[in-house]
Amino acid sequence: MKIWKFMLMSLVCAMAMVSLSACGGDDDDNNNGGNVFVGTWEDEEYGDYYIFRSNGTGSYNGDEGDVWSFTYEASGNTARLMYDEGDTERLTYHDGNIPYLTDEYGDKFFKR
């Protein structure tokens, strides 16, 4: 009787382990064709932020409520932004435990 009880408990534990194990989740970086820039990046010090969309467009939202639209080209860890007004800007992606972007002034933007 003890053997049957042990076998039944082992079977229940094995079924619980299988049913509670998670399937592979969606990884946001992989859903964007490898484009690490897609998403919202915020400067925690000033509150301004960039929004990068997967279609190559985005916006910069200043800390005073100003919004500037841009298109961008991403190559490796660098994105070149072309604003509708004609200005350009370059951002660099830094990988690590906490990925972040830096602009040409050294300001850091963290992914929301």
Q: Tens place of pLDDT for every residue, the chain, 112 residues?
A: 677 666 666 666 666 565 555 554 444 444 567 899 999 999 988 899 999 999 999 999 998 889 999 999 999 999 999 999 899 999 999 998 899 999 999 999 999 8
Residue that the structure tokens 């408990």 belong to: 9
Check whether domain 39-112 has CATH 2.40.128, yes or no: yes
Q: Is 109 exposed, middle or buried (0-12, 13-18, 19+ CB in 10 A)?
A: buried
What pLDDT shows up at residue 30? 47
Would you kindly state where each structural domain of the chain is located, as residue ranges? 39-112
What pLDDT shows up at residue 8? 62
Whether 77 contacts 93, CB under 8 Å: yes
What pLDDT shows up at residue 7? 62
